[in-house]
Chain A
Amino acid sequence: MEAITSYITDLGAAVALPFIIFIFALLLGQKAGDAVRAGLLIGIGFVGINLVIGLLGESVGPAATAMAENFGIDLTIVDVGWPASAAIAFGTQVGALAIPVGLAVNVVMLALGLTRTLDIDLWNYWHIAFSGALVAVVTGSLPLGVAAAALHMVILLAMADWSQPLIEDYYGFDNISLPHGTSAPYALFAIPLNAAFERIPGLRDWKADPDTIQERFGVLGESTVLGAVLGLIIGLLGYGFDDPRADSIAILGLAVNLAAAMYLLPKMVAVLMEALIPISEGAQEVVRRRFPGRNVYIGLDSAIAIGSPAVIAVSLLLVPITLLLAVIVPGNRVLPLVDLATIPFIVCIMVPIFKGNLIRSLIGGTIAMAATLLTATAMAPMVTDVAASVGFEAATDAAQISSLVDGGNPLSGLIVWLGRMEWVGIGILAVVSIAFAYLIKARVTSKREFAEATPEAN
């Protein structure tokens, strides 16, 4: 048994995952040819991501180290972003189990009436795989990792039910909820902050126009331009300009490499996702047949909320703010890069809680980003270990890596922190998450069901 496990580990995720996906696809009734293609595509996605984060580490790593030496700005942990984090998560042993375990948790909670959300967005089960994989690495125990992933799912489903009425009001999505690991946990910042803002007279009425901001700062939303500009800045700070020939070559090279990484990394993930489509569709069919009827929220990726002008405006402004925070927040060592493009996801549940008010969202977003940077710093050694364990050595040799999503996610951070206390911590997590789900069910979901049953009361 040990020989088999070590053989699979040595094969690496890029080779092992194609076999797993091939078998899953066959089980879900795909043709052999399609199953082979799906398996290979997932391997290709992995190889691609490894190449690009290798490029990122090699090009940014030395410049960041030089910047630390020149200015004492220690930002030597490279933010490889959600594309790499998702790949790392699915490449682990917990990752291989995340989809069946997550679905089982969802089905049980639906059957018990503990949630109303059916999360058909299987791709995003990588979030529970990520926290689970980190717990498994810290504790050296696969069962603890799987338990952490299962409880992460419980919390996300409860959070989705909690924010659903707000989502429906603000974005106008009928019976859709967002049990999305990237965005849902940030309600924990936004809800108390909004209550506080309601009590501060000046903040209550201060407004700004999202369309003007989008026009003026729109270019910050283009990852390639953003990557090149960041490359120029980091290069200039890192290499200086005392030798114009050599330094200009190094700086311009970094700018183009960084733009390339920002552009290519998401494309590689699209390859991974394409491979998962047949599996995700098959599993969705099976689950949907079991839970027909309108009393279920369909759980989706919060990508559907990103187009809102207020979300885009806040996210654009948070790009320079996050870079500034990275320098001034004491204790931060993460250099924000790839996930600067993911900020819309971090704020898209917060914005409706702040009722679309830009000023409040901006203040709330700034606080959330500072917490995210510190969490990402704390999680970096573990993220780097897990990345190396799935075969992303190229990146991890050059520098420590982390990500804002989910390396900096407060909920993932909390789960991993509890996970370090092994069964005691996981026990506490189990009690808290199930109590939370029950509370949301009693306070939010039941009230709504009552309102639906008696329409005249509305």
Chain B
Amino acid sequence: MKRVLIACGTGIATSTVVADKVRKHLKANGIEAKVDQTKVSELHRGAKGYDLVVATTNVPKSVEAPVVNGLPFLTGVGVDKVLDEIVEHLQD
């Protein structure tokens, strides 16, 4: 099971929207993954144990997992491209 972390300023405000869309898309593509939410200020020790971070804002340098920019989920521009990118990262 893959683990995806959605990060934003509050861990709620925008990440809830992104998490909802990522969960639905992964399910539709048959990828089993656990999707968690957090806020960036909790990330200063890194994101250990996660295969992918989707962030709607900058993340600290300490994050070692690959990071995908989640901004398109909020603006609605380029959503498909980001979804493809996320799927690509999670397929072995």
Binding site for B on A (CB under 8 A): 83, 120-121, 123-124, 173, 176, 211, 214-215, 218, 221-222, 266-267, 269-270, 273-274, 277, 280, 284, 288, 298, 300-309, 312, 315-316, 341-342, 344-345, 348
Contacts and interface: CB of A to CB of B under 8 A. Distances in A.
Contacts of A120: 76
A303 B56 contact: yes
Contact of A304 (B37, B44, B59, B71): B71
Interface string B46-61: 0000000001111111
B21 to A, nearest CB: 9
29 contacts: A120-B76, A121-B74, A124-B13, A173-B71, A214-B44, A267-B12, A273-B13, A274-B16, A277-B16, A277-B17, A280-B17, A300-B74, A304-B8, A304-B9, A304-B14, A304-B56, A304-B74, A306-B9, A306-B10, A306-B41, A306-B57, A307-B7, A307-B55, A307-B58, A308-B57, A309-B60, A312-B60, A344-B9, A345-B9
B40 interface: yes
B57 A307 contact: yes
B45 interface: yes
A266 B17 contact: no
Contacts of B13: 123-124, 273, 301, 303
A270 B18 CA distance: 12
A136 B37 CA distance: 36
B75 interface: yes
A121 to B, nearest CB: 8
B44 A309 contact: no
A277 B42 CA distance: 25
B92 interface: no
B20 interface: yes
Nearest to A180: B13
A284 B75 CA distance: 10
A266 B9 contact: no
Contacts of B71: 173, 176, 304
B57 to A, nearest CB: 3
A301 B9 contact: yes
B12 A266 contact: yes
B44 A218 contact: yes
A312 B40 contact: yes
Contacts of A341: 10, 41
B76 A288 contact: yes
Given A300-B75, A304-B56, A266 B41 contact: no
B10 A303 contact: yes
A348 to B, nearest CB: 8
A279 B90 CA distance: 30
Given A306-B57, A309-B60, A273 B12 contact: yes
Contacts of A266: 10-12
B75 A298 contact: yes
> Which of A222, A306, A348 has most chain B Cβ within 10 Å?
A306
B17 A211 contact: no
Contacts of A280: 17
A304 to B, nearest CB: 5
A145 to B, nearest CB: 25
Interface string B6-39: 0111111111110010000000000000000101
Given A221-B42, A270-B16, A302 B61 contact: no
Instruction: Determine which residue in A284, A301, A316 has the highest number of CB atoms from chain B within 10 A of its CB, and name it.
Output: A301
Contacts of A305: 9, 57
A36 B75 CA distance: 27
Nearest to A298: B75
Contacts of A348: 9
B8 A306 contact: yes
Nearest to B8: A303
A274 B75 CA distance: 18
Interface in B60-92: 60-61, 71, 74-77
A266 B11 CA distance: 8
B61 A303 contact: no
